Structure 1
């Protein structure tokens, strides 16, 4: 795969855009309870439902779940007809083949509209809904978070194996090879291609420790995927309300029960403690006492645990390479110069440490 295609792989995390007033958080509490019940075995695991809950909470009760399910059911039925018409039910990866065709080529099953990469606010920095699955379903365009997550929702609907997998600031799909089940196939929906593992290691600067500790290039189970979605719920909560508080800590701790190597939840936990310590010190004339020292000690322990996993800040050289690739691909795809500058310049002027998972 050409390095210039890195544009489509680059997926920055969400920055906070705090609102002046904090509205009712009851929908976030409802979403947390449902997802936590799935993780704890009190309710059936459902990627479809967990994806919906995070978007529903952020959008204050929208979209409608019945309409959401009906659209997924219709897509699943169309995929089923494609599988039957082409005899794919006789192959272990028949569903994966059908899904790849659904995303990448025009067929009646996708209304002759394959899915494309959305260059407009691809990080969701201005509009968080840009990276929502419901946006992909509506527009057939998305990026490295929403495209693989929608693939996973559809794979669940048709009973096909597929695993959400991480690289730094990036998600993709893994499934087992048809001929050799011990081999993984890496599905890049952002470029409508299959990528070799070395591509991720070299171009995203992934360490051996991070692979060994299952931080990156590790295919998540369904339960682990739901746990990750809970950490995303916390991210959208922070995006909506601008707070690192007890709700975020609750989400992080529940996520880490089932996905202890999750970087996002680890960072949420560190940030909550950091803000708590800052607020406590300001309220006590910046005079450290035993409680302040205990908070600082816990933060250091959490930070050390995160770094022990093999996670590290993305090197500036790799970050710059990704940004340059983004800029080159936007120009090659015919995106107008003003949009290119609007998208890229803020990222070039911002330290890469604010753009990590």
Structure 2
């Protein structure tokens, strides 16, 4: 059953709402949240007459307190509603229906082995490079050698440490360590003993891996010196571990980048590896697809913890499996594991909503439910109806969290805008300020 027919079916269901409790509409994808963005209004707004005009100071204080209490109540109600929707979306749903299984397909066992290996990393410190390699090698059907991969990362780390020493950077400064990493990705570097490294370039071809999923991989990046917003930040995090720095993966719509704290842990800096710039939060927000709720609910611009980063690896494993085979019970199991570690992972939530959408399409087709007979047949299949409602819960939770889909063309335009920022005055000032923090104290 194609998606057009699927949507037409749900359009025909609008007249059934009273009888079977179906929602009025079924959107193609999760839409922008309709919840109020609390805190965005100014109590003393100049756009309307000041309601406090003529009040005594005591009356004004009372009015302000009443306004604050009302907003706090609204915020509490909003948080309660979002948490309720999220709990429903994240919880496991048992159904007698299932998608066709790829369990016996050639190479599928490699994904189950990778899943087990990632699970073993949950309760102890894990290596980013090992986790990433585990995911990528499942796609390569265990043909890659981890020893060779590890050697490249170690040698690269040694090169970076040597260059850091030559620059006279403070070896104890997290800012200095991240600055040398930023330079490694964006500049040409030469060591005194003749080693040379060229900047890593952005690969504009097939940036989402629609034709070739290995385009997303760090192994591909290391072999070609070209990558994109998925592989470049992951390599950065591997090198962070190698030189004992501190940095985190962070998300914006269709995108990942790096955040790192200064040496006092008071200020955060953003590193954009696709365009080789240090970004401000304001520049990230210019894409226009980050809602206040999405920041509040930590969908975007939030430094991922190590536990949340492992959830990211699970979602990568799911997407590789789907590219190679398709969706089945295994993809749901891995996605559920990702949500246990990171309940507001927008990628995991979207993966789960897509899984249930495919499931509903498949079940409706198996039951012979279509545009013409949906009103008569669906009430006779309560388990199919419950499956449909479960799918809707996924969409509602994603909407409530503040997700807004960013079209591919808008993302490309935003990337071009980011690249144009590289040589502006703001970039020069940010680099200048960071450079002041990189020297040993005796040289300051």
Query: Normalising by structure 1, what TM-score?
Result: 0.79
Aligned match for 2:179, one of 61, 72, 97: 97
Q: 1:223 and 1:297 mapped to 2: Cα distance?
A: 30
Once structures 1 and 2 are overlaid, which stretch shifts more, 227-236 or 113-122? Answer: 113-122
The answer to whether the aligner puts 1:203 opposite 2:287 as a matched pair is yes
8 Å Cα contact 2:271/2:278 also seen in 1: yes
8 Å Cα contact 2:346/2:398 also seen in 1: yes
Aligned match for 1:113, one of 193, 198, 219: 198
Cα distance per residue 1:226-267 (max 9 Å; x no partner): 1111101100110111x2211110111100111111111111
RMSD: 2.3
Deviation at 1:114, TM superposition (A): 1.5
Q: 1:120 and 1:273 mapped to 2: Cα distance?
A: 31
Q: 1:101 and 1:327 mapped to 2: Cα distance?
A: 21
The answer to whether the aligner puts 1:66 opposite 2:147 as a matched pair is yes
Q: 2:174 and 2:404 mapped to 1: Cα distance?
A: 37
Unpaired segments of 5 or more residues in structure 2? 1-101, 370-376, 420-444
Aligned residue in 2 for 1:240? 324
Aligned residue in 2 for 1:306? 398
Going from structure 1 to structure 2, the CA distance change for 1:96 and 1:202 (only over 3 Å counts) comes to same
8 Å Cα contact 1:167/1:204 also seen in 2: no
Q: 2:389 and 2:414 mapped to 1: Cα distance?
A: 40
Aligned match for 1:293, one of 385, 399, 409: 385
Match runs of 1:174-323 below 5 Å: 174-178=259-263, 181-241=265-325, 243-286=326-369, 287-288=377-378, 289-314=381-406, 320-323=409-412
Once structures 1 and 2 are overlaid, which stretch shifts more, 230-239 or 104-113? Answer: 104-113
Cα distance per residue 1:89-113 (max 9 Å; x no partner): 1323221112111111122367331
Larger Rg: 2
Cα distance per residue 1:114-136 (max 9 Å; x no partner): 21112222232221112210111
Going from structure 1 to structure 2, the CA distance change for 1:328 and 1:44 (only over 3 Å counts) comes to closer
Q: How many residues align?
A: 304
Deviation at 1:182, TM superposition (A): 2.0
8 Å Cα contact 2:311/2:338 also seen in 1: yes
Q: 2:319 and 2:402 mapped to 1: Cα distance?
A: 22
